[in-house]
Amino acid sequence: MDIVTKGLEHRYQPRTPFERLALYDINIEISSGVFSAVIGHTGSGKSTLLQHFNGLLKPTGGSIRIGNKQISAGVKNKDLKPLRKKVGIVFQFPEHQLFEETVEKDICFGPINFGMSNEKAKLVAKDVIKKVGLTEEFLSKSPFELSGGQMRRVAIAGVLAMKPEVLVLDEPTAGLDPRGRTDIMEMFYTLHKTQQLTTILVTHSMEDAAKYADDIIVMHKGSVYKKGTPNEIFQDTETLISLGLDVPEVLKFKHKLENKGMLVPNGITTIKDLVQAIMIEAGVKKS
Protein backbone atom coordinates (compact mmCIF):
# COMPACT_ATOMS: atom_id res chain seq x y z
CA MET A 1 0.00 0.00 0.00
CA ASP A 2 1.62 3.21 -1.17
CA ILE A 3 1.31 6.64 0.47
CA VAL A 4 1.40 9.95 -1.41
CA THR A 5 1.08 13.45 0.03
CA LYS A 6 0.54 16.61 -2.01
CA GLY A 7 1.03 19.98 -0.35
CA LEU A 8 0.08 18.41 2.98
CA GLU A 9 -0.36 20.98 5.73
CA HIS A 10 -1.52 20.70 9.32
CA ARG A 11 -2.38 23.51 11.70
CA TYR A 12 -3.29 22.85 15.30
CA GLN A 13 -6.24 24.84 16.66
CA PRO A 14 -6.80 26.78 13.41
CA ARG A 15 -8.62 30.09 13.51
CA THR A 16 -7.92 30.54 17.22
CA PRO A 17 -5.31 32.63 19.08
CA PHE A 18 -3.44 29.36 19.68
CA GLU A 19 -3.11 28.39 16.01
CA ARG A 20 0.21 26.70 15.22
CA LEU A 21 1.56 25.52 11.88
CA ALA A 22 3.01 22.05 12.46
CA LEU A 23 3.38 20.78 8.87
CA TYR A 24 3.54 22.55 5.52
CA ASP A 25 4.24 21.71 1.89
CA ILE A 26 4.78 17.99 2.50
CA ASN A 27 5.21 16.25 -0.86
CA ILE A 28 6.40 12.66 -0.47
CA GLU A 29 5.81 9.25 -1.99
CA ILE A 30 6.31 6.07 0.02
CA SER A 31 6.07 3.06 -2.27
CA SER A 32 4.32 -0.14 -1.28
CA GLY A 33 6.63 -2.62 0.43
CA VAL A 34 9.34 -0.07 1.22
CA PHE A 35 10.97 0.43 4.63
CA SER A 36 11.16 4.21 5.17
CA ALA A 37 12.68 6.03 8.12
CA VAL A 38 11.59 9.51 9.19
CA ILE A 39 14.22 11.45 11.12
CA GLY A 40 14.38 14.98 12.44
CA HIS A 41 15.04 17.08 15.51
CA THR A 42 12.40 17.17 18.25
CA GLY A 43 9.56 19.40 17.06
CA SER A 44 10.31 18.88 13.37
CA GLY A 45 6.84 17.43 12.70
CA LYS A 46 7.59 13.70 12.62
CA SER A 47 4.81 12.56 14.96
CA THR A 48 2.28 14.95 13.43
CA LEU A 49 3.05 13.51 10.00
CA LEU A 50 2.67 9.88 11.03
CA GLN A 51 -0.77 10.55 12.58
CA HIS A 52 -2.00 11.50 9.10
CA PHE A 53 -1.16 8.04 7.79
CA ASN A 54 -4.29 6.49 9.29
CA GLY A 55 -6.53 9.50 9.69
CA LEU A 56 -5.89 10.26 13.36
CA LEU A 57 -5.13 13.76 12.14
CA LYS A 58 -6.58 15.24 8.96
CA PRO A 59 -4.97 17.80 6.65
CA THR A 60 -5.82 21.46 7.06
CA GLY A 61 -4.27 21.95 3.64
CA GLY A 62 -3.37 19.69 0.74
CA SER A 63 -4.08 15.96 0.71
CA ILE A 64 -2.82 12.49 1.53
CA ARG A 65 -3.60 9.28 -0.31
CA ILE A 66 -3.12 5.94 1.44
CA GLY A 67 -3.71 3.13 -1.01
CA ASN A 68 -7.00 4.06 -2.68
CA LYS A 69 -8.20 6.26 0.20
CA GLN A 70 -7.88 9.99 -0.38
CA ILE A 71 -8.10 12.44 2.53
CA SER A 72 -8.21 16.10 1.50
CA ALA A 73 -8.46 19.34 3.42
CA GLY A 74 -11.97 20.77 3.57
CA VAL A 75 -13.57 17.50 2.49
CA LYS A 76 -15.57 15.40 4.94
CA ASN A 77 -13.96 12.01 5.13
CA LYS A 78 -16.45 9.42 6.27
CA ASP A 79 -15.78 5.87 7.42
CA LEU A 80 -12.05 5.85 8.12
CA LYS A 81 -12.42 2.57 10.00
CA PRO A 82 -11.20 0.39 7.09
CA LEU A 83 -8.14 2.63 6.72
CA ARG A 84 -7.30 2.30 10.41
CA LYS A 85 -7.45 -1.46 10.03
CA LYS A 86 -4.97 -1.39 7.15
CA VAL A 87 -2.56 1.06 8.80
CA GLY A 88 -1.32 -0.06 12.20
CA ILE A 89 0.52 2.42 14.43
CA VAL A 90 2.84 1.35 17.22
CA PHE A 91 3.23 4.41 19.45
CA GLN A 92 5.95 5.05 22.00
CA PHE A 93 5.46 2.83 25.05
CA PRO A 94 2.55 0.86 23.49
CA GLU A 95 2.42 -1.31 26.61
CA HIS A 96 0.70 1.60 28.38
CA GLN A 97 -2.36 0.84 26.26
CA LEU A 98 -2.82 -2.71 27.61
CA PHE A 99 -5.92 -3.06 29.77
CA GLU A 100 -7.52 -6.53 29.49
CA GLU A 101 -7.39 -9.37 32.03
CA THR A 102 -5.37 -11.66 29.79
CA VAL A 103 -2.92 -11.34 26.93
CA GLU A 104 -5.35 -13.20 24.67
CA LYS A 105 -8.20 -10.78 25.38
CA ASP A 106 -5.94 -7.80 24.77
CA ILE A 107 -4.77 -9.10 21.41
CA CYS A 108 -8.33 -10.06 20.41
CA PHE A 109 -9.84 -6.70 21.34
CA GLY A 110 -9.04 -4.94 18.07
CA PRO A 111 -10.09 -7.71 15.66
CA ILE A 112 -13.36 -8.29 17.55
CA ASN A 113 -14.04 -4.54 17.56
CA PHE A 114 -13.72 -4.64 13.76
CA GLY A 115 -16.24 -7.47 13.46
CA MET A 116 -14.17 -10.63 13.71
CA SER A 117 -15.71 -13.56 15.58
CA ASN A 118 -14.32 -14.55 18.97
CA GLU A 119 -13.21 -17.93 17.64
CA LYS A 120 -11.31 -16.48 14.69
CA ALA A 121 -9.78 -13.74 16.85
CA LYS A 122 -8.39 -16.38 19.21
CA LEU A 123 -6.78 -18.18 16.27
CA VAL A 124 -5.26 -14.91 15.14
CA ALA A 125 -3.94 -14.31 18.67
CA LYS A 126 -2.21 -17.71 18.64
CA ASP A 127 -0.57 -16.81 15.35
CA VAL A 128 0.65 -13.28 16.14
CA ILE A 129 1.95 -14.10 19.62
CA LYS A 130 4.56 -16.30 17.93
CA LYS A 131 5.44 -13.58 15.44
CA VAL A 132 6.48 -11.27 18.29
CA GLY A 133 8.72 -13.93 19.83
CA LEU A 134 6.42 -15.21 22.60
CA THR A 135 4.75 -18.59 23.07
CA GLU A 136 1.08 -19.53 23.33
CA GLU A 137 1.52 -20.00 27.10
CA PHE A 138 1.55 -16.21 27.41
CA LEU A 139 -2.03 -15.94 26.14
CA SER A 140 -3.53 -17.00 29.48
CA LYS A 141 -1.31 -14.67 31.53
CA SER A 142 -2.22 -11.21 32.74
CA PRO A 143 -0.25 -8.65 30.71
CA PHE A 144 0.58 -6.88 33.95
CA GLU A 145 2.53 -9.90 35.21
CA LEU A 146 4.98 -9.65 32.32
CA SER A 147 8.27 -7.84 31.99
CA GLY A 148 8.35 -4.48 30.24
CA GLY A 149 9.79 -5.99 27.07
CA GLN A 150 7.19 -8.77 27.04
CA MET A 151 4.38 -6.25 27.54
CA ARG A 152 5.64 -4.28 24.57
CA ARG A 153 5.63 -7.41 22.41
CA VAL A 154 2.03 -8.14 23.47
CA ALA A 155 1.00 -4.60 22.53
CA ILE A 156 2.69 -5.02 19.15
CA ALA A 157 0.89 -8.35 18.68
CA GLY A 158 -2.39 -6.48 19.18
CA VAL A 159 -1.50 -4.21 16.25
CA LEU A 160 -0.44 -7.15 14.06
CA ALA A 161 -3.70 -8.95 14.84
CA MET A 162 -5.45 -6.36 12.66
CA LYS A 163 -3.38 -7.67 9.73
CA PRO A 164 -2.20 -4.22 8.63
CA GLU A 165 -0.67 -3.56 5.22
CA VAL A 166 1.23 -0.54 6.57
CA LEU A 167 3.07 -0.56 9.88
CA VAL A 168 3.98 2.82 11.37
CA LEU A 169 6.49 2.76 14.22
CA ASP A 170 6.86 5.82 16.44
CA GLU A 171 10.12 5.41 18.39
CA PRO A 172 9.27 1.72 19.05
CA THR A 173 12.45 1.03 21.05
CA ALA A 174 12.07 3.95 23.50
CA GLY A 175 13.02 2.98 27.03
CA LEU A 176 14.53 -0.41 26.15
CA ASP A 177 18.09 -1.50 26.93
CA PRO A 178 20.51 -2.02 24.00
CA ARG A 179 19.76 -5.75 23.69
CA GLY A 180 16.02 -5.10 23.85
CA ARG A 181 16.28 -2.39 21.18
CA THR A 182 18.16 -4.71 18.85
CA ASP A 183 15.72 -7.59 19.40
CA ILE A 184 12.66 -5.40 18.75
CA MET A 185 14.12 -3.84 15.60
CA GLU A 186 15.17 -7.22 14.22
CA MET A 187 11.64 -8.47 14.88
CA PHE A 188 10.14 -5.52 12.97
CA TYR A 189 12.52 -6.02 10.08
CA THR A 190 11.66 -9.72 9.88
CA LEU A 191 7.94 -8.86 9.90
CA HIS A 192 8.54 -6.25 7.20
CA LYS A 193 10.15 -8.85 4.95
CA THR A 194 7.97 -11.88 5.65
CA GLN A 195 4.62 -10.00 5.68
CA GLN A 196 5.61 -7.72 2.78
CA LEU A 197 4.60 -4.67 4.79
CA THR A 198 5.08 -1.02 3.99
CA THR A 199 7.00 0.05 7.10
CA ILE A 200 7.55 3.62 8.32
CA LEU A 201 9.93 4.10 11.23
CA VAL A 202 10.05 7.39 13.12
CA THR A 203 13.31 7.34 15.05
CA HIS A 204 16.07 9.33 16.70
CA SER A 205 18.46 6.41 16.15
CA MET A 206 20.61 7.12 13.13
CA GLU A 207 22.01 3.60 13.40
CA ASP A 208 18.53 2.08 12.96
CA ALA A 209 17.75 4.42 10.07
CA ALA A 210 20.99 3.48 8.32
CA LYS A 211 20.70 -0.25 8.98
CA TYR A 212 17.06 -0.96 8.15
CA ALA A 213 15.66 1.75 5.88
CA ASP A 214 15.48 1.67 2.09
CA ASP A 215 15.03 5.43 2.10
CA ILE A 216 15.07 8.22 4.68
CA ILE A 217 12.92 11.34 5.00
CA VAL A 218 14.59 14.20 6.87
CA MET A 219 12.11 16.55 8.56
CA HIS A 220 13.02 20.09 9.62
CA LYS A 221 10.75 22.77 11.06
CA GLY A 222 7.56 21.17 9.79
CA SER A 223 8.58 20.28 6.25
CA VAL A 224 10.67 17.76 4.33
CA TYR A 225 14.27 18.93 4.14
CA LYS A 226 15.57 16.01 2.12
CA LYS A 227 14.66 12.48 1.02
CA GLY A 228 17.03 9.81 -0.24
CA THR A 229 18.77 6.51 0.40
CA PRO A 230 20.81 6.07 3.60
CA ASN A 231 23.97 6.51 1.50
CA GLU A 232 22.72 9.82 0.10
CA ILE A 233 21.47 11.17 3.43
CA PHE A 234 24.47 10.27 5.57
CA GLN A 235 27.17 11.48 3.18
CA ASP A 236 26.44 15.11 4.15
CA THR A 237 27.30 14.84 7.84
CA GLU A 238 27.85 18.57 8.32
CA THR A 239 24.31 19.36 7.17
CA LEU A 240 22.81 16.71 9.47
CA ILE A 241 24.69 18.12 12.44
CA SER A 242 23.52 21.64 11.55
CA LEU A 243 19.93 20.31 11.69
CA GLY A 244 20.50 19.03 15.23
CA LEU A 245 20.90 15.42 14.15
CA ASP A 246 23.64 12.93 14.82
CA VAL A 247 25.31 10.57 12.37
CA PRO A 248 25.77 6.80 12.78
CA GLU A 249 28.75 5.81 14.90
CA VAL A 250 30.08 3.79 11.97
CA LEU A 251 30.48 6.99 9.94
CA LYS A 252 32.32 8.70 12.78
CA PHE A 253 34.72 5.73 12.86
CA LYS A 254 35.03 5.83 9.06
CA HIS A 255 36.11 9.47 9.21
CA LYS A 256 38.72 8.64 11.89
CA LEU A 257 40.15 5.92 9.65
CA GLU A 258 40.28 8.34 6.73
CA ASN A 259 42.10 10.88 8.88
CA LYS A 260 44.73 8.20 9.53
CA GLY A 261 45.22 7.70 5.81
CA MET A 262 43.04 4.65 5.15
CA LEU A 263 40.98 4.70 1.97
CA VAL A 264 37.35 3.82 2.81
CA PRO A 265 34.77 3.92 -0.03
CA ASN A 266 31.65 6.06 0.16
CA GLY A 267 28.32 4.38 0.83
CA ILE A 268 29.35 2.84 4.18
CA THR A 269 26.40 2.98 6.59
CA THR A 270 26.67 -0.23 8.66
CA ILE A 271 29.37 -1.98 10.68
CA LYS A 272 29.19 -4.95 8.31
CA ASP A 273 29.93 -2.71 5.32
CA LEU A 274 32.82 -1.04 7.16
CA VAL A 275 34.40 -4.37 8.19
CA GLN A 276 34.23 -5.61 4.60
CA ALA A 277 35.81 -2.38 3.35
CA ILE A 278 38.64 -2.63 5.91
CA MET A 279 39.30 -6.26 4.93
CA ILE A 280 39.45 -5.33 1.25
CA GLU A 281 41.75 -2.40 1.99
CA ALA A 282 43.99 -4.63 4.14
CA GLY A 283 44.13 -7.17 1.34
CA VAL A 284 45.19 -4.51 -1.15
CA LYS A 285 47.98 -3.31 1.11
CA LYS A 286 49.27 -6.84 1.73
CA SER A 287 49.53 -7.50 -2.00
Do residue 225 and residue 268 come from a single domain?
A: no
What is the span of the domain harbouring residue 259?
A: 248-287
What confidence score (pLDDT) does residue 286 get?
46
Whether 264 contacts 254, CB under 8 Å? yes
How far, CA to CA in Å, does 171 sit from each of 37, 119, 200, 247, 255?
Answer: 11, 33, 11, 17, 28
Same domain, 164 and 256: no
Q: Are residues 13 and 151 in the same domain?
A: yes
What contacts 35, CB < 8 A, 6 or more positions away?
189, 192, 199, 201, 212, 213, 214
pLDDT at 244: 87
Phi then psi dihedrals of residue 20, to 5 deg: -140, 130
Confidence (pLDDT) at 109: 94
239 and 112 in one domain?
Answer: yes
Q: Is the same domain home to 217 and 272? A: no
On whether both 281 and 222 belong to a single domain, the answer is no
Interatomic CA distance for residues 233 and 211, integer angstroms: 13
d(CA 229, CA 168): 19
**Same-domain pairing of 79 and 169:** yes
Same domain, 254 and 242: no
Q: How many domains does the chain contain in total?
A: 2
> Do 54 and 32 touch, CB atoms closer than 8 A?
no
Same domain (yes/no): 76, 89: yes
Do 89 and 132 belong together in one domain? yes
| Consecutive 10-residue averages of pLDDT for the chain (287 residues) | 95 94 96 96 93 94 94 87 90 86 95 93 96 94 91 92 94 88 93 94 92 94 94 84 85 78 73 79 59
Q: What one-character DSSP code corresponds to residue 74? A: T
d(CA 37, CA 198): 11
CATH of the domain at 229: 3.40.50.300
Q: CA of 14: how far to CAs of 10, 11, 51, 75, 180, in Å?
A: 9, 6, 17, 16, 41
Type of residue numbered 35? F
DSSP-assigned letter for residue 98:
-
Dist. CA 266–CA 141, nearest whole Å:
50
Same domain, 181 and 261: no
Asked whether residue 49 falls in the same domain as residue 164, the answer is yes
Residue 80, SS3? coil
- What beta strand segments (E) does 139-195 contain? 166-170
